[in-house]
Structure 1
Amino acid sequence: MDVEAPAPHPDLQQALRLAGDRGIKVALSNPCFELWLLLHFQDVTRYRTSAQAQQMLEEHKGCGYRRDRKHLDYPALRSLHTDACDRAAALRAVTERGHRTNPWTDVDQLVQGLMAERRPGG
């Protein structure tokens, strides 16, 4: 779920509360999901708006991302997954404010959980 920047989504806290009440874990990115994708290519350590993060990702021509179609070439990211996980963990390590910090993401934890649960050969 995107936190969004420059202003957080107005219903974010309510959505997180409802999810928690129902036992649903939510993966968050601040400012947006594109931050997680961008971490495959580079460190991101400064505040970015959602539009800035999307523009930065679009500049990585090898991944095929374009804001107007939200398409991505997954094979271009696959070999960079470990780098992205390391960068995401580093972002979380420097703050106690969690998703209220920009940049911040825990999408890597969701992806790692899904990968751990996948069936062999699936």
Structure 2
Amino acid sequence: MARRENTQSRRGRERALRPGHVLVVCGGQRTEPDYFKGLARARGARLKVKSKVDSPENLVRYAAAVFTPDEYEGVWCVVDADEFDIDTARVAAARAEVGLAVSEPCFELWLLLHFADHRAHIANGKAACALLAKHVPGYAKKLDYPVFDAGVETAVERAEALGEGNPATGVWRLVKAVLKPEFKP
């Protein structure tokens, strides 16, 4: 009788991520994970996406705790500035060697940059959603990634040009890093 290989262990090996995969920990439950999962499917970006609603500093700690160098090449946190102390998150991220992609005021700015070169101050997340809804009718925190795919490179260019303050987003560094592995943040 032929010996059968344990299918559990074989499945486990198939799920192991190849070198070069990046762990992305999002501070939002729907929008950010949907975007990065869509990016991975559409562009072949090597991502594992997790979400956890918490402060940016706690999110960085969580990302550092779940990151394992034998599984992932790097780890990033995607957070909104909101009313958080981003400086403490930046210090924690630098200490833990976690990439930090902050959007001010929120991730919807990153999405808006796929359609418009927006450089004016945005009061809050609600205002950012209203601006985005002008380009994506019916937008309500539910993301259909293919709507954004054609504008990824344009969004990277626009975000790079923004600089610090409001509006600003560091998501371009993460996107550029996972789409062009030779780029280092």
Give the TM-score taking structure 1 as reference length.
0.75
- What is the letter of the counterpart of residue 92 of structure 2? L
Structure 1 residue runs of 4 or more that deviate by more than 4 Å after TM superposition: none
Comparing both structures, which one devotes a greater share of its residues to helix?
1
Counterparts in 2 of 1:22-101, with a 5 A limit? 22-49=96-123, 50-61=125-136, 65-66=139-140, 70-92=141-163, 98=164, 101=165
Cα deviation, residue 91, structure 1:
0.8
TM-score, normalised to structure 2, is: 0.51
CA distance in 1, matches of 2:89, 2:162: 23
CA contact (8 A) 1:65 1:73 kept: no
Q: Secondary structure at the match of 1:27?
A: strand
- The residue identity in structure 1 corresponding to 2:121 is Y
Ranked by relative contact order (alpha carbons within 8 Å, sequence separation 6 or more), the top structure is 1
Q: Distance between the aligned counterparts of 2:122 and 2:175, measured in 1?
A: 23
Residue 81 of structure 2 aligns with an amino acid whose one-letter code is: V
Alignment gaps of 5+ in structure 1: 93-97, 118-122
Match of 1:109 among 173, 178, 181: 173
CA distance in 2, matches of 1:105, 1:61: 19
Count how many residue pairs are aligned between Structure 1 and Structure 2.
102
1:20 partnered with 2:89: no
Structure 2: gaps (5+ residues): 1-78
| 1:20-71: CA deviation from partner (whole Å, max 9, x where unpaired) | 1111110111111110000001011111022211111122235x621xxx21
Paired-residue identity, %:
38
